[in-house]
Structure 1
């Protein structure tokens, strides 16, 4: 079963450059690069970023197969996001018309004297403003054109008085239509970019957790949150770090217990697809007591180790080295570039 794997958030020992980085640098890099990749809307740039991430994973000594297996529980969610984006995202309403005339695709009449369109030299405008006025068809595609001034269609009588033609961009063409779903090449492109963003973020998060021991991860979170005034809400940075550590630590344990219970039930003749209610009752009666039992054991272990004392120390104290400072400098440059880019976009849209 793909969901029941113990490699989720597991640590893979190694001696690579990425293993030796300070955990705080890894967390900061994860946040900065996640912001960068979420701002990329080009499939080509995202593909280059994904290839670069694969190269970093290879240099870190982590097998790509293990990374894929660790994030496999999220593949169903990514596939669901892809399908929703592909099937139900509407195409952009970008009608292309001569003289940038805004087309209203409903049954209406227009006044030729109220709009400004280019006329050919030598073509006189009739005195009657109602001449040539005709109702536009109710065609949502926008592919229609106006009549000639005399109502004829002979090319020898000159070009049309009003030539308003809505042209559909190739990306807006429907691939197929099925009920409320009208996917286009644009929705396919958008679904691919969104899905690739999630895959890149999952791979980066898995790389950070696989190259960082859990004890150092909790210490890094504690140090990074310590300047915040969390005591005003009755919390400390150590409490938040402990909650994050327990979440990372016990997700594989719960999945393993669920896998064992499922295998035991199937070996006794339970067919999950035929008895889903019975399967849910079985899992609830197995996992809920196991979770409370583990929580009690953790509480007793924390009390025996003096966790409630105000003064706490770590067995290993972290310190920034030259490689950490170099990585922080690179991340700072990337963050400044991202910030300036978003500021420029906001100022441009305000004009």
Structure 2
């Protein structure tokens, strides 16, 4: 059975052994770089950097292809919107649509940025245990004065972790719902818009039911939303500091282009 999208794949690679705070910081920094880099050369360097990180992780390529596949239609929409609605040098004309050279460049640039975000996020979730991500987020948010907002760092970390954990389950439920409706005679290729209610209604009911079951399970185990001990004792080691330093130097060099 295939692993769900954005799921954790155990391993003993260099990326698997890094502290989750190191990987969270790296993903945030790489996301900023993806949107700050304007040149196609810089975007190409980011893709090459991702390939290098993937080789260190030992993760199969299908993990990242499955992460991008659900967002293909959204990425195509972004590309077409930039292509047809950006003013500039007109390439050709299609009825009332006038694609421009600047729109083509912006479309490729923006699409590549979203793909990079998905790839780096998939790399982090595939090489980091979800409970370790929760612990890392909680430790990073702990110094912030969140009590003034009526929450604490542990509650926020738990909500983020539940969101990450529910994402692959949501994609898996979509596939199961689609297969169940197809077995009842639903044909999705003839008119996809007519099949939206057949997918959306059971999907929403299933997600709400899963959320209720999770809430009951947490209450039955005495969850109070307060700070608790963790099975992951985080400790930044030498390889973490070296990795962060190397990433900062890489970002500084990339922003110069």
TM-score by length of 2: 0.88
Tell me the distance in 2 between the aligned counterparts of 1:312 and 1:242: 11
Q: Offset of 1:24 from its aligned partner?
A: 0.5
Q: How many residues align?
A: 255
Render the CA deviation track for 1:206-238: whole Å, top value 9, x for unaligned.
Answer: 111110010001111111111111111111111
Contact 2:7 2:126 in 1 (8 A): yes
Structure-2 residue corresponding to 1:230: 146
Q: Is 1:59 paired with 2:56?
A: yes
Structure 1 pair 275/52, CA: closer, same or farther in 2 (3 Å)?
closer
Tell me the distance in 1 between the aligned counterparts of 2:123 and 2:190: 39
Name whichever of 194-203 and 16-25 sits farther off.
194-203
* Equivalent in 69, 73, 77 of residue 70 of structure 2: 73
Structure-2 residue corresponding to 1:266: 182
Structure-2 residue corresponding to 1:12: 9
Structure-2 residue corresponding to 1:299: 215
* Equivalent in 233, 255, 262 of residue 171 of structure 2: 255
Give SS of 2:180's match. helix
Q: Is 1:191 paired with 2:188?
A: no
Give SS of 1:71's match. helix
Q: Offset of 1:309 from its aligned partner?
A: 6.4
Tell me the distance in 2 between the aligned counterparts of 1:292 and 1:245: 18
Q: Offset of 1:244 from its aligned partner?
A: 1.3
Structure 1 pair 294/21, CA: closer, same or farther in 2 (3 Å)?
same
* Equivalent in 174, 199, 204 of residue 283 of structure 1: 199
Tell me the distance in 2 between the aligned counterparts of 1:194 and 1:278: 31
TM-score by length of 1: 0.66
Render the CA deviation track for 1:251-294: whole Å, top value 9, x for unaligned.
Answer: 22233223222222222222345676874444354233322332
Structure 1 pair 335/42, CA: closer, same or farther in 2 (3 Å)?
closer
Q: Offset of 1:23 from its aligned partner?
A: 0.7
Structure-1 residue corresponding to 2:34: 37
Structure 1 unaligned spans of 5+ = 92-171, 342-351
Q: Is 1:204 paired with 2:120?
A: yes
Tell me the distance in 1 between the aligned counterparts of 2:52 and 2:193: 45
Question: What does 1:322-333 correspond to in 2, within 5 Å?
Answer: 322-333=238-249
Structure 1 pair 285/200, CA: closer, same or farther in 2 (3 Å)?
closer
Structure 2 unaligned spans of 5+ = none
State which structure, 1 or 2, has the greater radius of gyration over its C-alpha atoms: 1
